[in-house]
Chains A and B, each alone.
Chain A
Amino acid sequence: MAKIGDRIKRTEDRRFLTGAGRYVDDLQLARCTHAYFLRSPHAHARIKSIDVAAAKAAPGVVEIFTGKDVADSKVGSLICGWVVKDKHGQPHKAPAHPAIALDTVRYVGDTVAMVIAETYAQAKDAAEQIAVDYEVLPASIDPVKTLDAGASQVHADVPGNLCYDWELGEKAKVDAAFATAAHVTKLDLVNNRLIPNAMEPRAAAAEYDRGTGNYTLYTTSQNPHVARLVLSAFVLGIPEHKLRVVAPDVGGGFGSKIFIYADETLVVWAAGKIQRAIKWTAERGESFMTDAHGRDHVTHAELAMDKDGKFLAFKVDTIANLGAYLSTFATAVPTYLYATLLAGQYTTPLIYCNVRAAFTNTAPVDAYRGAGRPEATYLVESIVSKAASEMKIDAAELRRRNFIAPDAFPYQTPVALTYDSGNYAPILDQAMQLADYAGAAGRKATAKASGKLRGVGICSYIEACGIAPSAVVGSLGAGVGLWESAELRFNPTGNLQILTGSHSHGQSHETTFAQIVSDKLGIPMDQIEVVHGDTSQVPFGMGTYGSRSLPVGGSAIMKAADKIIAKGKTIAAHLMEASEADIVFEDGTFKVAGTDKAVPLGQAVFAAYVPHNYPSDKLEPGMDENAFYDPSNFTYPSGTQICEVEIDPDTGVVDIVNFVAVDDFGNIVNPMIVEGQVHGGIAQGVGQALLENAVYDKESGQLLSGSYMDYCMPRADNLPSFKLGYQVTPCPHNPLGVKGCGEAGAIAAPAAVMNAVRDALAQVGAQDRIEMPATPRAVWEAIHAQ
């Protein structure tokens, strides 16, 4: 039997390693046509006319749709599922987002036409025959300038390009605290825009069954039920029970596959129109242009301290770029997933945050691994290290002085959250030991002697995973609940299917979920199948994002398992003619306490399906239990990362020479899998800090980093091997005591790396001249700027 805590090898690996995975593009649907989307080459333009006649006559073309066809068909606007109210109580501005642009294109990549042909090459060939007459308009690209008076308007019905002006905290009290401060540290910071780059490009394939009127959409989704709900209830009007959404094997998501995009919307809609199957797979260049991007904040922050470095108050003013349209959860990211995290691990009693969300003529911006929390962590941990440097207090020591004490939990922060558990100092201690923090100064001196600049950086982060409970998120504007579903379906022969509303696209649910059930019910792993990603198979579920799968989805599975045990007890009591109160369940067997009488779970299952000798007066037949779990709070993973870098001042190259991460994820089910999640997260965080940058030309709005030639993906030789450690304070409010581990690496790493870079650059006075990504060019320019 697998046990919680074992390093179980993954169930899903065999198919992936032998080329037998089934990703959307691998599907071969009968008589399938292929779609190509003609996209806007302009950041902002009026479509004066569009002529598809020549293209329609091109070889192999089946149909071409434009914005007018979509509008005539009463297809609704793509939606944003979270309504943020501004500081005056007014709802955010949500301009229409047609799946195909009707008369105006608003970013490079905006959809202009859909070409469907017998082959993909034919569709692409034909698209070149579409004549679009554009009147190019001035574009607003910069998130700060777009809010200036006189900036070009992205949407006529959004004055000043302002989606909302939102605040959290009490400004007057914060200002009063600043007046008493012994020292104020100020920081201007840009959180660079990123492009998620899951290795599998987004894809959609759909078919329509004329006989039943049923649609099936296969798509790269992290949350197929949410996709179905949005497409059904808001955009296409296909009744939910007539639309099946399947997310088969999905090659990474990192947030970018949460959202409901124009592409899959059009594929399923058009499959009904042409009554044939359609497949579309993004080329990487399209992914760069149209996947929802991440981050993109410009912030000014100030931290007030007393003479001992105790934090008195923190105030933050952020401009968040939302792009040209609101993506599905865009509005929540720079508000409820950002400002609420600004307390970090500290007792800062007063915090005020103002966020202005801006429209620009760029791709929509939404949640990307960490979603708001990396932005908050980068800000908090950068200003704390800067404060330490200004106060001449060691960066670790300043953090320690301000940590929330282990006996203070549950801890109410001034920014709405109640931290459930944590113990931060031992984490910092362990990280410092693993990183040989004490020896850093010596290594810095040695490096300096050979002309190199060494630096060490700390990031002590707080996370909030498994966003919940539903009633709270609803009160904050969420259009959905944030519970999760599970069903444990036994078969008469004793093997078991776990049906989960979570979706695995790299997270290893097929292993982890089987492992927790194997541990709980005493069933071998190979007798358990995890089923996910198909709305026709699994109960309605909310999907996977925000590191929620184990704390929320896993908890639902545990609840369903409890129901199985309860039912099994009644059956076993009946079979053994014992009192139910005397039955205990151990190692997969129901036993009468104090006797040698026993009924294995499998026997109880069989009795439930072949109920010849069965407590029919008390129970229905069958062994199939479901559960829905709505958490009572977020979970709060925490940790400390320490990064050490060495900079070559001649070239500006930053080399990561050591990287340590110590995390508290609560209980750990499978350390091997957790480590993998941390590694991947760190790589993405390092990518943000040193390599990755989505760059638009500030005038034309062309995406200058639109391929792997210019968007720098982390490669194996950019990274070291990582040193990991754990501390465990179990989550007190979910049955597994788990906290979520998927995003921590990406949340903490940017600040750890950049604090190290700044520490190194401080030796030449360049620490305040560097922003992410600290590319060789940027570092060299920082060193040489006068």
Chain B
Amino acid sequence: MYDFEYHKPKSVADAVAALKKASDGKFMAGGMTLIPTLKQRLAQPSDVIDLGAIGDLRGIKVDGNTVTIGAMTKHAEVAASAEVAKAIPALAKLAANIGDGQVRNRGTIGGSVANSDPAADYPAAVLALGATITTNERKIAADDFFKGLFETALKEGEIITSISFPTATKAAYMKFPNPASRYAMVGVFVAQTASGPRVAVTGAGACAFRVKEMEDALAKNWSPDAVAGVKVPADGLNGDIHGSPEYRAHLVTVMAKRAVAAAG
């Protein structure tokens, strides 16, 4: 990788200040995407601002019907949290299957959501549960957050501080991993929320997206059969050596069906 200036601020304010000073700075959360990217010389930031020392950004709180997870909370911590497992078991289970054990020990929820990797798992949960993303500047609704391939509503200098997930009466996530990378080739999160069923898909498109037809079908009849007949169009879905857009479109239905079955 190219060399850079390294900063390890103790507060969000210091982190933002460091970024502003840098000519082309980059925040680093767990580094599970950034460091491999730097190693491949695919990015050349002037400064890397490590958020790892900001204690405020870590921790899990359950308050009534809301699970709030600090942005720098690691996947392994979410996976092992008894509170999360009780409030939204599907979320704990999702976290327990992100990447591999070592990635879960370093990777963070904030980093994953901020990066909006098309094959990341968390975005599906954020979108399906209708989570709220809290930054140092504002609160952003999940539906307004994911904008495209590695693109989010975050502005320059904006740091996710926490993500709040409303609990759901039923929820489950089913992932079909890419056989090689083990990232989600298709992941479907279904949730029966206070505002009705929500279905979010990751891995298949440029970023996580909802499937309205499935949600409508589930609103009428919460059962695997309800989504079995809903096909998402292959047009615009990702295609690579592991799966054509058609195959991914098919998997969306299969995973949705299985997720609904798992959610009960």
Contacts and interface: CB of A to CB of B under 8 A. Distances in A.
In the complex, is A directly touching B at CB under 8 Å?
A: yes
A286 interface: no
A740 to B, nearest CB: 32
Nearest to B243: A777
Contacts of A705: 180, 241
Contacts of B254: 650-651
A776 B179 contact: yes
B250 A691 contact: no
B241 A780 contact: no
Contacts of A711: 180
A704 interface: yes
Contact of A695 (B179, B241, B243, B247): B241
A709 interface: yes
A651 B176 contact: yes
A785 to B, nearest CB: 11
Contact of A780 (B3, B240, B250): B250
Nearest to A695: B241
A710 B181 contact: yes
B242 interface: yes
A648 to B, nearest CB: 9
A704 B179 contact: no
B40 to A, nearest CB: 8
Interface in A108-123: 121
Interface in B170-188: 176, 179-181, 183
Q: Is the interface of B mostly helix, strand, loop or mixed?
A: loop
Contacts of B3: 121
B221 interface: no
A234 interface: no
Interface in B228-264: 240-244, 247, 250-251, 254
A775 B242 CA distance: 8
Nearest to B176: A651
A712 interface: yes
A713 interface: yes
Nearest to B180: A712
Contacts of A25: none
A409 interface: no
Given A708-B180, A710-B181, A711-B180, A781 B242 contact: no
Interface string A750-786: 0000000000000000000000000111001100000
B76 to A, nearest CB: 19
B176 A710 contact: no
Contact of B181 (A693, A709, A777): A709
A693 B244 CA distance: 16
A777 B244 contact: yes
A713 B180 contact: yes
Contacts of A713: 180
A777 B181 CA distance: 15
A709 B180 contact: yes
A309 B243 CA distance: 40
B181 A775 contact: no
B82 to A, nearest CB: 26
A709 B240 CA distance: 12
Contacts of B240: 710
A151 B224 CA distance: 52
B251 A712 contact: no
B241 A710 contact: yes
Interface string A681-714: 0000000000101010000000011001111110
Nearest to A715: B182
Given A704-B241, A710-B241, A775-B242, A781 B179 contact: no
Interface in A642-658: 650-652
Contacts of A652: 247
A121 B242 CA distance: 33
Contacts of B247: 652, 777, 780-781
Of A652, A693, A713, chain B has the most CB atoms within 10 Å of the CB of A652
Nearest to B254: A650
Nearest to A708: B180
Contacts of A650: 254
Of A650, A652, A777, A781, chain B has the most CB atoms within 10 Å of the CB of A777
A704 B243 CA distance: 13
Contacts of A781: 244, 247
Contact of A651 (B241, B242, B251): B251
Nearest to A697: B241
Nearest to B248: A777
A652 B251 CA distance: 10
A708 B242 contact: no
A711 B178 CA distance: 11
A695 B240 CA distance: 11
A226 to B, nearest CB: 34
A712 B176 contact: no
Nearest to B179: A712
B179 A775 contact: yes
A514 to B, nearest CB: 37
Contacts of B183: 709
B258 to A, nearest CB: 9
B197 to A, nearest CB: 22
Of A125, A704, A709, chain B has the most CB atoms within 10 Å of the CB of A709
A711 B181 CA distance: 8
Interface in B1-38: 2-3
Contacts of B242: 710, 775, 777
Interface of B: 2-3, 176, 179-181, 183, 240-244, 247, 250-251, 254
Closest 3 CB pairs of A and B: A712-B180, A709-B181, A712-B179
Given A652-B247, A780-B247, 4 more contacts: A691-B179, A691-B180, A776-B176, A776-B179
Interface of A: 121, 125, 650-652, 691, 693, 695, 704-705, 708-713, 775-777, 780-781
20 contacts: A121-B3, A650-B254, A651-B254, A691-B179, A704-B241, A705-B241, A708-B180, A709-B181, A710-B181, A710-B240, A710-B241, A711-B180, A712-B179, A712-B180, A775-B242, A776-B243, A777-B243, A780-B247, A780-B250, A781-B244
